[in-house]
A = this chain, B = another copy of it.
Amino acid sequence: MTAALLSHPCMSQDALKDCRDADFIASMLAFELALVRAQERIGAVPSGTTADMAERLEHHAFDVAELARGVASGGNPAIPFVKAGRGALPDHLKRYWHQGATSQDVVDSALMHLLTPRLGAIDGLLERCRTAGMALMRTHADTPMVGRTLMQQALPITFGAKVAQWTVGLEQARRRLGEVADQGLPVQFGGAVGVHSGWGDEGMALMQAIAQELGLSCPILPWHTNRQPIHTLQTALDAVAGAVENLALDVSLLTQTEVGEVSEPSAPGMGESSSMPHKRNPVRCALIRSSARRLHGHTSVVLGAVAQPLERGLGEWHAEWVPLTESVLLVEGALEQAAVLLEGLEIHPERMAANLAVTGGAIMAEPVARLLTPSLGPERAKALAADAAEQARQQGRRYADVLVSLVQEGGDAVNGGADASTAASSQASTLPSAEAIRAATDPALYIGSSKHQVRAALEWLQR
């Protein structure tokens, strides 16, 4: 393709090593040999043909440049490959080569064959993410931090609860892709128009046999223009990308200089800036987010190509190859980053604590108001809670201290008069104690179901 350096950082280099031209050619060859072997079994070709053919072709050096020239005129890589393969065979074997198959059988099956091991690799990376996520959940189940909605500080959560969200999302996507992998990617075999022309009823059995040979699943019917299997696979990959992207977005936000609650794991040269010595760029997040965006673009191509005309696409099929293949490599690349990120994420609980305090207590106004509501009524309670936060900020005092004084003054300084719904006379007796007030301003005591959520998520993750 075009300058590899531009695509490089987002894709899994490990995976790329197994998805080059030579690998794809090997997968096409694997299909052709499986086809012959299946035919040999039912006596459609002479015994020994497969072994004979395999011997001649498995070490044959296909000329990639020549195939490349042929692919432009044929429109797909199977056409020059089949020609080259036939050319490399002696006459007595030529007629058994590619017998009853069509280009799409070769390309689709080869792609499924090529991508199958990648699903395993992706699953492995997702397991690493899960393990790392679970460790963080356990360690930080009750590490308080501020929860942020619309990027504004809202109320406390725990870091464990946040990691639970990431980890559950990743695991949901893992299980979804896992179902696709467990079912097996399907072989393609239908011949020229998808009905095994020339084979009659044996066609379906051949399809089954080839699937077994290749370790692929056997579809209900050939799927030349019923692309549901591709839709299922691509959207499952997209779901994984979305789950990793979700993690990367959060980490990007939490690593901001002014937030600083987590840092990407440091590694030599990683994220350094050529000009600014103090910077550590969240490069892993950038790469993950970039991969995910490119993947969503690929998905849009695949979705738009689900409807294919009659017995073979006219461009729709051809448009699928690169998006699907690159999606796998992009997901795998993103997960490699994500696994390292989760395994080595640096957590800064002291910054989390500092950020909880940054509003002078205002983020605790909600629980304080809740505490005061029985005695003051909801409106006055809210007003007092907000007022105290404002005073605390202006005077640089602790929120709890201001609150206690205000409450001890009878709460009367605020908003004058009780709510309609509250008997003014009964207030003094029911006002909460200073201790209760202080407790209500402690974020660490107002983390809701955070710990419960971590437990519940751990249980589900281990299931």
Contact = CB atoms under 8 A, between A and B. Distances in A.
A4 B385 CA distance: 37
A5 B249 contact: no
Interface string A349-392: 00000010011001101110110010000100010011001000
A192 B147 contact: yes
A157 B194 contact: yes
A461 B223 CA distance: 16
A98 B13 CA distance: 29
A168 B226 contact: yes
Classify the secondary structure of A's interface with B.
Answer: helix
Contacts of A6: 24, 77, 321-322, 325
Contacts of A293: 301, 304-305, 315-316, 319
A346 to B, nearest CB: 15
A453 to B, nearest CB: 5
A244 to B, nearest CB: 8
A239 B228 contact: yes
Contacts of A446: 197-198
A55 interface: no
A259 interface: yes
A205 to B, nearest CB: 9
Interface stretch (A127-135, A276-284, A403-411, A431-439): A276-284
Contacts of A75: 9, 271, 281, 283, 286-287
Contacts of A83: 274
A44 interface: no
Contacts of A165: 194, 221, 225-226
A232 to B, nearest CB: 7
B300 A314 contact: no
A3 interface: yes
Given A165-B225, A448-B198, A242 B238 contact: no
A301 B294 contact: yes
A181 interface: no
B303 A238 contact: yes
Interface stretch (A46-54, A209-217, A250-258): A250-258
Interface residues of A, number: 188
Contact of A322 (B7, B271, B304): B7
A231 interface: yes
Interface in A148-207: 148-158, 161-162, 164-166, 168-169, 172-173, 176, 191-204
A225 B163 CA distance: 12
Contact of A199 (B79, B201, B449): B449
Contacts of A149: 102, 192-193, 273, 279, 281, 310-312
Nearest to A303: B296
Nearest to A78: B274
A157 B315 contact: no
Nearest to A283: B75
A228 B168 CA distance: 9
A420 interface: yes
Contacts of A10: 318, 322
A8 B77 contact: yes
B176 A309 contact: no
Given A2-B329, A226-B246, A307-B246, A278 B362 contact: yes
A348 interface: no
Interface string A101-118: 011000000000010000
B421 A92 contact: yes
Contact of A253 (B4, B151, B268): B151
B221 A453 contact: yes
A342 interface: no
A155 B196 CA distance: 10
A304 B378 CA distance: 40
24 contacts: A1-B1, A2-B19, A2-B322, A8-B77, A9-B74, A73-B271, A102-B274, A147-B195, A148-B193, A148-B256, A148-B312, A149-B311, A151-B253, A151-B255, A195-B448, A196-B449, A220-B456, A246-B307, A248-B315, A257-B358, A275-B366, A292-B307, A294-B322, A297-B301
Given A9-B75, A147-B195, A231-B235, 7 more contacts: A3-B20, A5-B71, A147-B311, A155-B192, A198-B370, A204-B456, A228-B242
